[in-house]
Amino acid sequence: MSTSERLIESTRELLWERGYVGTSPKAIQQRAGAGQGSMYHHFAGKPDLALAAIRRTAEEMRAKAEEQFSAPGTALERITAYLLRERDVLKGCPVGRLTQDPEVMADGTLRGPVDETFDWLRGRLAGILAEGRDRGELDAALDPAATASAVVAVLQGGYILARAAHSVEPFQQAVGGVLGLLAGHAATR
């Protein structure tokens, strides 16, 4: 792995563990096994490196979600696969956790990939739900955009509840609850 890749990966890990404020250039360099000169050779500074790390994390999150979203199956089957996929629940969502970081949220450039990822996720879910509604799999009265926002909110809230309880159980209950609500919208054939 190149020095710039080690720096990006180390920053990704530290942002997930400590947030932006808690991630110092020195900690990044130590974890990456890179010197200060190497860091500043590849990146203009901590904000530039953090942006590269946040973008990479967001791209990875979208790619993982797309695996379930583009798989064969009904809309409900694909959303179920997405919600039930393996996750490191107690660490929280690597993108969602950034919303709790005031410095990331105050910086439009750093916040950009976070906003784009959640916009994409809500839009992709809404598209799948609309497709399911249009194919007669889901109740015609279902509002795809509102339902997609609710799914994302439950997922992110589930992470928070699990972290607060130091248990995956609240996350599993939240996901089970939203899946039950979605199943209630399945069209009867």
pLDDT tens-digit readout, 5-50:
999 999 999 998 898 989 999 999 999 999 888 888 899 989 999 9
Q: Tell whether 140 is covered by a domain.
A: yes
pLDDT at 35: 86
Distance CA 7, CA 36 (A): 11
Q: Is 11 domain-assigned?
A: no
Evaluate whether residue 154 is within a structural domain.
yes
Structural domain containing residue 117: 56-183
DSSP states of 31-93: HHT--HHHHHHH-SSHHHHHHHHHHHHHHHHHHHHHHHHTSSS-HHHHHHHHHHS---GGG--
- The answer to whether residue 91 sits within a structural domain is yes
pTM of this prediction? 0.91
**Res 36: pLDDT:** 86
pLDDT at 140: 93
Q: What is the pLDDT of residue 1?
A: 81
Helix, strand, coil percent values for the chain (each to nearest 5): 75, 0, 25
Counting the structural domains of the chain, the total is 1
Q: Distance (Å, rounded) from C-alpha 154 to C-alpha 81?
A: 15
Is 36 within the bounds of a domain?
no
Domain of residue 107, CATH code: 1.10.357.10
Q: pLDDT (tens digit, 9 = 90+) per residue, 52-88?
A: 999 999 999 999 999 999 999 999 999 999 999 999 9
Closest CA to 129 of 175, 85, 178, 93: 178
10 in any annotated domain: no
Tokens for 30, please give them.
């130590």
DSSP 99: G
In a domain, 28, yes or no: no
